[in-house]
């Protein structure tokens, strides 16, 4: 999987291997390495399904349950997205991972001048509950869990999902939705933010508090180290930043008078599979261990299930290349292998054509079949944590744990994650790592097959997923009809109540549900918060 630095001699013999997290890899490992690292079976590894969960969250791993396959899906209008949902489910996909277009992510309706040219382009356009009703038509919300890849307006989308379920006759206590809802990583890694840090984190706290009481099967936040890793940080930094971001959200809810044990079991993570296979596996094993250990130490969490690091381990887009794109099929298979060896509960792969386009049906199904082959043909479900006990893997996991703690200490030294993000410290560190990695790539110190090595051959033609300009007009026409036919007085009353709650620091979630049921639009609800909270201004990091 590459992304390690190799120093060779004149005869092309490897003299030194350094992983991206700064760990040097030895040619040979022996029991002495475990002894020198202070490895202790019970403290560092433990039995599968037992603290510290390094090996697995479940005693029998994949023998007792498959991982969930949840390919990232959504484009155009809700009609096109509903069709793709049903296609993937019919071929064995067991969960949904919903992509939203950029205007929706940024809290703009499809008829906004800010949305021009972007409606339905990189995900599904959603303006109101009416769109959810179309997108999830004939989907059993009490059986299929849905990841909602949305952040700045995640509270709106979670409220909309509840409103959809109740209108469709499903008990809200039986539905499972996971909005990404991680605004700190947006500020660090993607840029799809709207509101300043403090009120943005407050909205996340509102969703967590509300889900505790009203949506017991929903995961109100999915801490997304994935996008920070995609932006350039090292694997060790990815986990350190993700854990500290999670702690920031925990602290917000604790300040409201709750114990962490009451809600932290509903936290989930979205983490990245890209890079060296061994470093990736060690990263996830160390992450499970540290999450459980630090929850006990910092927040006195004792409930076993509340200590689980749960979430989706996804094959990273950074690994995919436009050059020789068929190579991405093999890359995806190894990313899926890394997920399985890491003990992933839920997985997704970027399809081989995603360096160019939204996945075509063929590419999406190839990714799904990759997982199914690993599950049912290759033997990845035979035994739990097959790498356990390896002199190399256990030493590397211990070293990865140390690197993660080192990176966490750096952030805490500058005042914690909120201060580190507000000041731009984390953004600057991620940008620096991205620059250093790109230099190594350009200089050939890091090998990328088909890009800077083995570049001979003709690139294949990739079938592009066509963007239909008519989607935007259809969406705008639907929005016009909605605004004409809905009870606009009920909408005005609901938005007024939402504004009052936002101004008074009351939890806004029940008011958002009321707005959604009245068919207020995403833009109307987002604009209430814009008026009350203002908009975030990025600090200079250069």
- Cβ of 466: how many Cβ atoms within 10 Å? 10
Contact assessment for residue 523 and residue 107, using Cβ atoms and an 8 Å cutoff = yes
Nearest to 98 by CA among 128, 134, 70: 70
For the chain, domains (ranges, CATH) are: 4-60+221-443 (3.20.20.240)
The string of pLDDT tens digits covering residues 249-285 is 999 999 999 999 999 999 999 999 988 999 999 999 9
Nearest to 242 by CA among 256, 227, 232: 227
Position 263 scores a pLDDT of 97
Position 348 scores a pLDDT of 86
Position 66 scores a pLDDT of 84
Nearest to 191 by CA among 304, 102, 78: 102
Position 70 scores a pLDDT of 79
The residues near 161 (Cβ < 8 Å, ≥ 6 apart) are 132, 141, 146, 148, 175, 177, 179
3-class secondary structure, 222 = strand
Entry pTM: 0.94
Nearest to 151 by CA among 114, 116, 99: 99
Whole-angstrom Cα distance, residue 398 to residue 8?
Answer: 27
Structure tokens, 28 = 């040979």
Position 12 scores a pLDDT of 79
Position 74 scores a pLDDT of 85
The string of pLDDT tens digits covering residues 139-197 is 999 999 999 999 999 999 999 999 999 999 999 999 999 999 999 999 999 889 999 99
3-class secondary structure, 157 = helix
Strand order through the sheet with 4-8? 4-8, 14-19, 24-25
The string of pLDDT tens digits covering residues 324-378 is 999 999 999 999 999 999 999 888 888 998 888 878 888 889 998 998 898 889 9
- The residue length of the chain stands at 542
DSSP 8-state symbol, 51: T
Structure tokens, 263 = 């809600």
- Written in H, E and C, the secondary structure of 73-97 is ECCECHHHHHHHHHHHHHCCCCEEE
Whole-angstrom Cα distance, residue 70 to residue 144?
Answer: 10
Whole-angstrom Cα distance, residue 25 to residue 233?
Answer: 20
3-class secondary structure, 219 = coil
DSSP annotation string for 367-417: HHHHHHHIIIII-TTSSS-TTTT-HHHHHHHHHHHHHHHHHHHHHHHTT-H
Position 51 scores a pLDDT of 97
Whole-angstrom Cα distance, residue 271 to residue 281?
Answer: 12
Give the chain's count of helices (H) and strands (E): 19, 12
Strand order through the sheet with 221-223? 68-69, 346-349, 311-315, 267-273, 221-223
Nearest to 67 by CA among 504, 525, 381: 381
Position 211 scores a pLDDT of 97
Query: Which residues of the chain are modeled with pLDDT < 50?
Result: 1
Position 2 scores a pLDDT of 58
């Amino acid at each position: 999987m590459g992304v390690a630095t190799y120093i060779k001699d004149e005869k092309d013999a490897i003299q030194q291997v350094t992983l991206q997290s700064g760990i040097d890899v030895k040619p040979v490992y022996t029991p002495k390495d475990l002894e020198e690292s202070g490895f202790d079976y019970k403290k560092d590894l433990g039995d599968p399904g037992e603290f510290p969960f390094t090996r697995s969250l479940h005693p029998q791993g994949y023998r007792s349950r498959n991982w969930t396959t949840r390919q990232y899906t959504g484009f155009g209008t809700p009609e096109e997205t509903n069709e793709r949902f049903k296609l993937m489910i019919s071929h064995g996909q067991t969960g949904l991972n919903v992509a939203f277009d950029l205007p929706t992510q940024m809290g703009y309706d499809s008829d906004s001048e800010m949305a021009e040219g972007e409606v339905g382009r990189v995900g599904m356009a959603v303006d109101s509950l009416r769109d959810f009703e179309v997108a999830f038509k004939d989907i059993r919300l009490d059986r299929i869990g849905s990841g909602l890849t949305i952040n700045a307006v995640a509270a709106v989308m979670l409220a909309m999902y509840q409103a959809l379920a109740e209108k469709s006759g499903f008990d809200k206590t039986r539905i499972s939705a996971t909005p990404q809802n991680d605004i700190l990583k947006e500020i660090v890694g993607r840029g799809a933010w709207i509101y300043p840090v403090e009120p943005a984190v407050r909205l996340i706290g509102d969703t967590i508090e509300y889900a505790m009481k009203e949506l017991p099967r929903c995961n109100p936040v999915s801490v997304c180290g994935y996008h920070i890793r995609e932006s350039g940080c090292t694997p060790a930094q990815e986990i350190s930043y993700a854990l500290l971001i999670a702690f920031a959200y925990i602290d917000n809810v604790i300040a409201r008078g709750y114990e962490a044990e009451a809600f932290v079991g509903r936290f989930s993570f979205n983490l990245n599979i890209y890079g060296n296979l061994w470093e990736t596996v060690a990263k996830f094993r160390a992450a499970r261990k540290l999450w459980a250990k630090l929850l006990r130490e910092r927040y006195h969490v004792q409930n076993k299930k509340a200590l689980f690091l749960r979430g989706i381990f996804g094959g990273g887009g950074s690994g995919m290349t436009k050059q020789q794109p068929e190579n991405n099929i093999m890359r995806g298979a190894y990313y899926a292998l890394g997920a399985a060896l890491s003990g992933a509960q839920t997985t997704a792969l970027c399809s081989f054509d995603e360096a160019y386009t939204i996945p075509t049906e063929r590419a999406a199904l190839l990714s799904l079949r990759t997982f199914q082959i690993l599950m049912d043909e290759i033997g990845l479900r035979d035994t739990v944590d097959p790498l356990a006990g390896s002199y190399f893997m256990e030493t590397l996991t211990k070293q990865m744990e140390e690197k993660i703690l080192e990176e966490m200490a750096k952030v805490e030294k500058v005042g914690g994650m909120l201060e580190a993000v507000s000041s731009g410290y984390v953004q600057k560190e991620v940008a620096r790592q991205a620059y250093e990695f790109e230099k190594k790539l350009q200089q050939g110190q890091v090998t990328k097959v088909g890009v800077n090595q083995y570049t001979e051959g003709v690139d294949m033609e990739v079938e592009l997923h066509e963007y239909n300009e008519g989607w935007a007009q259809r969406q705008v026409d639907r929005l016009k009809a909605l605004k004409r036919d809905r009870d606009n007085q009920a909408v005005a009353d609901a938005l007024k109540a939402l504004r009052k709650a936002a101004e008074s620091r009351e939890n806004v979630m029940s008011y958002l549900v009321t707005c959604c049921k009245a068919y207020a639009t995403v833009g109307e609800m987002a604009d209430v918060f814009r008026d009350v909270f203002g908009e975030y201004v990025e600090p200079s990091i250069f």
